[in-house]
Chains A and B, each alone.
Chain A
Protein backbone atom coordinates (compact mmCIF):
# COMPACT_ATOMS: atom_id res chain seq x y z
CA UNK A 1 0.00 0.00 0.00
CA UNK A 2 2.00 3.04 -1.20
CA UNK A 3 1.39 6.17 0.87
CA UNK A 4 2.30 9.56 -0.59
CA UNK A 5 2.98 12.19 2.06
CA UNK A 6 2.54 15.81 0.91
CA UNK A 7 5.15 18.11 2.37
CA UNK A 8 3.78 20.82 4.64
CA UNK A 9 4.13 23.58 2.05
CA UNK A 10 2.14 21.74 -0.63
CA UNK A 11 -0.51 20.01 1.48
CA UNK A 12 -3.27 21.90 -0.34
CA UNK A 13 -2.37 20.11 -3.56
CA UNK A 14 -3.44 16.76 -2.12
CA UNK A 15 -7.09 17.32 -3.01
CA UNK A 16 -6.15 18.43 -6.53
CA UNK A 17 -4.10 15.28 -7.18
CA UNK A 18 -6.75 13.10 -5.52
CA UNK A 19 -9.34 14.48 -7.94
CA UNK A 20 -7.18 13.30 -10.85
CA UNK A 21 -5.98 9.99 -9.41
CA UNK A 22 -9.51 8.97 -8.47
CA UNK A 23 -11.23 10.43 -11.52
CA UNK A 24 -13.04 7.94 -13.79
CA UNK A 25 -10.00 7.89 -16.11
CA UNK A 26 -7.47 6.79 -13.47
CA UNK A 27 -9.53 5.47 -10.56
CA UNK A 28 -9.21 1.77 -11.43
CA UNK A 29 -5.43 1.97 -11.66
CA UNK A 30 -5.03 4.10 -8.52
CA UNK A 31 -7.26 1.76 -6.52
CA UNK A 32 -5.49 -1.32 -7.83
CA UNK A 33 -2.18 0.10 -6.65
CA UNK A 34 -3.94 1.05 -3.40
CA UNK A 35 -2.52 4.59 -3.54
CA UNK A 36 -3.01 6.61 -0.33
CA UNK A 37 -2.49 10.37 -0.14
CA UNK A 38 -1.60 11.80 3.26
CA UNK A 39 -0.82 15.13 4.92
CA UNK A 40 1.17 15.82 8.08
CA UNK A 41 -2.01 15.69 10.17
CA UNK A 42 -2.90 12.28 8.77
CA UNK A 43 0.42 10.75 9.82
CA UNK A 44 0.84 12.70 13.06
CA UNK A 45 3.75 14.91 12.01
CA UNK A 46 4.10 18.34 13.58
CA UNK A 47 4.46 21.57 11.57
CA UNK A 48 8.10 22.52 11.25
CA UNK A 49 9.44 18.95 11.35
CA UNK A 50 13.04 19.18 10.19
CA UNK A 51 14.28 17.60 6.95
CA UNK A 52 16.36 14.94 8.69
CA UNK A 53 13.46 13.94 10.95
CA UNK A 54 11.17 13.83 7.94
CA UNK A 55 13.59 11.66 5.99
CA UNK A 56 13.92 9.20 8.89
CA UNK A 57 10.15 9.13 9.41
CA UNK A 58 9.47 8.35 5.74
CA UNK A 59 12.14 5.65 5.61
CA UNK A 60 10.99 4.02 8.85
CA UNK A 61 7.38 3.92 7.65
CA UNK A 62 8.13 3.24 3.95
CA UNK A 63 6.26 6.42 2.98
CA UNK A 64 6.94 8.38 -0.22
CA UNK A 65 7.51 12.06 0.51
CA UNK A 66 6.19 14.47 -2.13
CA UNK A 67 7.93 17.86 -2.20
CA UNK A 68 8.38 20.81 -4.49
CA UNK A 69 11.66 22.39 -5.59
CA UNK A 70 13.44 23.76 -2.55
CA UNK A 71 16.65 25.47 -1.68
CA UNK A 72 18.69 22.90 0.20
CA UNK A 73 22.12 23.94 1.39
CA UNK A 74 22.05 22.81 4.99
CA UNK A 75 23.97 19.74 6.20
CA UNK A 76 20.67 18.40 7.55
CA UNK A 77 18.64 19.23 4.42
CA UNK A 78 16.65 16.67 2.49
CA UNK A 79 19.16 16.92 -0.34
CA UNK A 80 21.96 15.99 2.04
CA UNK A 81 19.90 13.16 3.52
CA UNK A 82 19.32 11.77 0.02
CA UNK A 83 23.01 12.05 -0.84
CA UNK A 84 24.42 10.66 2.38
CA UNK A 85 21.84 8.31 3.87
CA UNK A 86 20.16 6.77 0.85
CA UNK A 87 20.61 3.01 0.56
CA UNK A 88 19.65 0.67 -2.27
CA UNK A 89 16.55 -0.17 -0.26
CA UNK A 90 15.58 3.44 0.56
CA UNK A 91 12.22 4.86 -0.45
CA UNK A 92 12.77 7.70 -2.96
CA UNK A 93 11.50 11.25 -2.59
CA UNK A 94 9.17 12.55 -5.30
CA UNK A 95 9.61 16.19 -6.32
CA UNK A 96 7.12 18.17 -8.39
CA UNK A 97 9.15 19.90 -11.08
CA UNK A 98 6.97 23.01 -11.31
CA UNK A 99 4.36 23.40 -8.62
CA UNK A 100 3.04 26.66 -10.10
CA UNK A 101 2.03 24.90 -13.29
CA UNK A 102 0.23 22.32 -11.19
CA UNK A 103 -2.04 25.09 -9.97
CA UNK A 104 -2.99 26.41 -13.38
CA UNK A 105 -2.65 23.62 -15.96
CA UNK A 106 -4.91 20.60 -15.84
CA UNK A 107 -2.79 18.73 -18.44
CA UNK A 108 0.33 19.28 -16.40
CA UNK A 109 -1.42 18.13 -13.21
CA UNK A 110 -2.57 14.97 -15.00
CA UNK A 111 1.00 14.37 -16.16
CA UNK A 112 2.21 14.63 -12.56
CA UNK A 113 -0.43 12.12 -11.43
CA UNK A 114 0.34 9.66 -14.24
CA UNK A 115 4.07 9.90 -13.66
CA UNK A 116 3.43 9.10 -10.01
CA UNK A 117 1.43 6.02 -10.98
CA UNK A 118 4.18 4.91 -13.36
CA UNK A 119 6.75 5.14 -10.58
CA UNK A 120 4.53 3.21 -8.20
CA UNK A 121 4.03 0.55 -10.87
CA UNK A 122 7.81 0.14 -10.88
CA UNK A 123 8.06 0.21 -7.09
CA UNK A 124 10.73 -2.49 -6.93
CA UNK A 125 12.95 -0.61 -9.39
CA UNK A 126 12.78 2.85 -7.85
CA UNK A 127 14.12 1.97 -4.40
CA UNK A 128 17.41 3.71 -3.80
CA UNK A 129 16.76 6.17 -6.65
CA UNK A 130 17.07 9.15 -4.27
CA UNK A 131 14.97 11.87 -5.81
CA UNK A 132 12.56 11.37 -8.69
CA UNK A 133 10.89 14.27 -10.48
CA UNK A 134 7.22 14.53 -11.42
CA UNK A 135 6.84 14.72 -14.36
Chain B
Protein backbone atom coordinates (compact mmCIF):
# COMPACT_ATOMS: atom_id res chain seq x y z
CA UNK B 1 0.00 0.00 0.00
CA UNK B 2 1.29 3.48 -0.85
CA UNK B 3 2.02 5.56 2.25
CA UNK B 4 3.84 8.78 3.00
CA UNK B 5 4.64 10.31 6.34
CA UNK B 6 4.22 14.03 6.74
CA UNK B 7 6.01 16.02 9.48
CA UNK B 8 4.48 19.08 11.11
CA UNK B 9 6.28 22.01 12.73
CA UNK B 10 9.69 20.34 12.72
CA UNK B 11 11.80 23.49 12.72
CA UNK B 12 9.90 25.01 15.64
CA UNK B 13 10.32 21.78 17.48
CA UNK B 14 14.09 21.65 17.03
CA UNK B 15 14.51 24.92 18.98
CA UNK B 16 12.86 23.19 21.91
CA UNK B 17 14.65 19.90 21.34
CA UNK B 18 18.03 21.56 21.59
CA UNK B 19 17.26 22.08 25.29
CA UNK B 20 15.62 18.77 26.02
CA UNK B 21 17.72 16.26 24.11
CA UNK B 22 17.15 13.54 21.57
CA UNK B 23 14.75 11.40 23.58
CA UNK B 24 12.07 14.05 23.54
CA UNK B 25 12.84 14.71 19.89
CA UNK B 26 11.96 11.14 19.04
CA UNK B 27 8.72 11.24 21.04
CA UNK B 28 7.71 14.53 19.44
CA UNK B 29 8.46 13.21 15.98
CA UNK B 30 6.14 10.28 16.57
CA UNK B 31 3.38 12.46 18.00
CA UNK B 32 3.49 15.08 15.24
CA UNK B 33 3.39 12.87 12.17
CA UNK B 34 0.43 11.83 10.10
CA UNK B 35 0.53 8.84 7.82
CA UNK B 36 -1.31 9.36 4.55
CA UNK B 37 -2.81 6.17 3.25
CA UNK B 38 -5.47 5.03 0.83
CA UNK B 39 -8.60 3.78 2.60
CA UNK B 40 -12.07 2.71 1.49
CA UNK B 41 -15.01 3.97 3.52
CA UNK B 42 -17.63 3.18 0.90
CA UNK B 43 -16.86 5.65 -1.88
CA UNK B 44 -14.04 3.57 -3.35
CA UNK B 45 -10.36 4.16 -2.56
CA UNK B 46 -9.72 7.61 -1.08
CA UNK B 47 -7.17 9.51 1.00
CA UNK B 48 -7.23 8.86 4.72
CA UNK B 49 -6.78 12.60 5.26
CA UNK B 50 -9.68 14.00 3.20
CA UNK B 51 -12.75 13.17 1.09
CA UNK B 52 -10.68 13.17 -2.09
CA UNK B 53 -10.80 9.83 -3.89
CA UNK B 54 -8.57 8.06 -6.36
CA UNK B 55 -11.34 8.67 -8.93
CA UNK B 56 -11.05 12.42 -8.35
CA UNK B 57 -7.42 12.32 -9.40
CA UNK B 58 -7.89 9.92 -12.32
CA UNK B 59 -8.64 12.56 -15.04
CA UNK B 60 -5.59 14.58 -13.96
CA UNK B 61 -3.43 11.45 -13.89
CA UNK B 62 -4.59 10.63 -17.41
CA UNK B 63 -3.72 14.15 -18.57
CA UNK B 64 -0.34 14.02 -16.77
CA UNK B 65 -1.31 17.24 -15.01
CA UNK B 66 1.23 18.94 -12.76
CA UNK B 67 0.61 19.16 -9.02
CA UNK B 68 -0.07 22.89 -9.38
CA UNK B 69 -2.71 22.21 -12.03
CA UNK B 70 -4.31 19.57 -9.79
CA UNK B 71 -4.32 22.01 -6.87
CA UNK B 72 -6.11 24.59 -8.98
CA UNK B 73 -9.19 22.35 -8.74
CA UNK B 74 -8.45 20.57 -5.45
CA UNK B 75 -6.56 23.22 -3.49
CA UNK B 76 -6.42 21.27 -0.25
CA UNK B 77 -4.12 18.58 -1.72
CA UNK B 78 -0.47 18.56 -0.64
CA UNK B 79 2.36 17.11 -2.72
CA UNK B 80 2.50 14.04 -0.47
CA UNK B 81 -1.19 13.34 -0.89
CA UNK B 82 -0.94 13.68 -4.66
CA UNK B 83 2.03 11.31 -4.62
CA UNK B 84 0.04 8.71 -2.68
CA UNK B 85 -2.88 8.99 -5.12
CA UNK B 86 -0.57 8.73 -8.15
CA UNK B 87 1.25 5.73 -6.68
CA UNK B 88 -2.07 4.02 -6.12
CA UNK B 89 -3.22 4.76 -9.67
CA UNK B 90 0.05 3.43 -11.11
CA UNK B 91 -0.59 0.13 -9.36
CA UNK B 92 -4.38 -0.08 -9.91
CA UNK B 93 -5.07 1.80 -13.14
CA UNK B 94 -7.25 -0.84 -14.81
CA UNK B 95 -9.37 -1.18 -11.68
CA UNK B 96 -9.77 2.62 -11.46
CA UNK B 97 -10.80 2.87 -15.11
CA UNK B 98 -13.40 0.14 -14.64
CA UNK B 99 -14.80 1.88 -11.56
CA UNK B 100 -14.96 5.16 -13.48
CA UNK B 101 -17.20 3.53 -16.08
CA UNK B 102 -19.44 2.00 -13.37
CA UNK B 103 -19.85 5.37 -11.61
CA UNK B 104 -20.69 7.11 -14.88
CA UNK B 105 -23.26 4.44 -15.80
CA UNK B 106 -24.84 4.63 -12.32
CA UNK B 107 -25.25 8.42 -12.44
CA UNK B 108 -26.40 8.40 -16.07
CA UNK B 109 -29.14 6.00 -14.98
CA UNK B 110 -30.14 8.17 -12.00
CA UNK B 111 -30.13 11.27 -14.16
CA UNK B 112 -32.37 9.67 -16.78
CA UNK B 113 -34.86 8.83 -14.03
CA UNK B 114 -35.31 12.47 -12.98
CA UNK B 115 -38.78 13.91 -13.60
CA UNK B 116 -39.45 15.65 -16.91
CA UNK B 117 -39.82 19.15 -15.37
CA UNK B 118 -36.22 18.97 -14.24
CA UNK B 119 -34.99 18.74 -17.84
CA UNK B 120 -37.64 20.90 -19.49
CA UNK B 121 -35.39 23.94 -19.96
CA UNK B 122 -32.18 22.14 -20.91
CA UNK B 123 -32.51 22.52 -24.68
CA UNK B 124 -33.74 26.11 -24.66
CA UNK B 125 -31.36 28.93 -25.64
CA UNK B 126 -29.68 30.69 -22.71
CA UNK B 127 -31.26 34.04 -23.59
CA UNK B 128 -34.71 32.49 -23.31
CA UNK B 129 -33.83 30.91 -19.99
CA UNK B 130 -32.50 34.24 -18.75
CA UNK B 131 -35.79 35.96 -19.66
CA UNK B 132 -37.73 33.26 -17.80
CA UNK B 133 -35.55 33.76 -14.72
CA UNK B 134 -36.03 37.53 -14.85
CA UNK B 135 -39.81 37.03 -15.07
CA UNK B 136 -39.71 34.70 -12.09
CA UNK B 137 -37.74 37.25 -10.11
CA UNK B 138 -40.24 39.97 -10.99
CA UNK B 139 -43.11 37.73 -9.84
CA UNK B 140 -41.33 36.97 -6.59
CA UNK B 141 -40.73 40.69 -5.98
CA UNK B 142 -44.40 41.43 -6.65
CA UNK B 143 -45.49 38.70 -4.22
CA UNK B 144 -43.10 40.00 -1.59
CA UNK B 145 -44.25 43.60 -1.97
CA UNK B 146 -47.87 42.41 -1.93
CA UNK B 147 -47.22 40.59 1.32
CA UNK B 148 -45.53 43.68 2.73
CA UNK B 149 -48.54 45.84 1.78
CA UNK B 150 -50.97 43.46 3.45
CA UNK B 151 -48.96 43.64 6.66
CA UNK B 152 -49.28 47.42 6.69
Chain A interface (Cβ < 8 Å from any Cβ of B)? 7-13, 25-26, 28-29, 32-33, 40, 47-51, 68-77, 95, 97, 100, 103, 110-111, 114-115, 117-118, 121, 129, 131-133, 135
Q: Are the CB atoms of B50 and A47 closer together than 8 Å?
A: yes
B53 close to chain A: CB less than 8 A: yes
Chain B interface (Cβ < 8 Å from any Cβ of A)? 41-44, 47-53, 55-56, 59, 71-76, 99, 102-104, 106-107, 110-111, 114, 118, 121-122, 126, 129-130, 132-134, 136-137
Q: Are the CB atoms of B42 and A114 closer together than 8 Å?
A: no
Find chain A residues with CB under 8 A from B136 CB. 121
Task: Give the secondary structure class of B's interface.
Answer: helix
Q: How far is the CB of A110 from chain B (nearest CB, A)?
A: 7
Q: Are the CB atoms of A12 and B74 closer together than 8 Å?
A: yes
Inter-chain residue pair count (beta carbon < 8 A): 107
Q: Are the CB atoms of A74 and B51 closer together than 8 Å?
A: no
**A71 in contact with B73 given A8-B51, A9-B52 (CB within 8 Å):** no
Find chain A residues with CB under 8 A from B130 CB. 25-26, 29, 114
Interface CB pairs A-B, < 8 A, 18:
A9-B52, A9-B74, A11-B74, A12-B72, A29-B134, A32-B137, A47-B49, A48-B48, A48-B50, A69-B103, A70-B43, A70-B103, A71-B102, A71-B106, A74-B42, A77-B43, A97-B107, A118-B132
Partner of B137, one of A29, A75, A110: A29
Bound Cα distance from A25 to B102, whole angstroms? 37
Q: Are the CB atoms of B107 and A9 closer together than 8 Å?
A: no
Chain A, residue nearest B104 (CB)? A69
Q: Knowing that A69-B106, A73-B42, A76-B42 are A-B contacts, what are 16 other residue pairs whose CB atoms are under 8 Å apart, sorted by A's residue number?
A: A12-B73, A25-B130, A29-B133, A29-B137, A48-B49, A50-B41, A51-B42, A51-B43, A71-B99, A71-B102, A74-B43, A115-B121, A118-B133, A129-B118, A133-B111, A133-B118
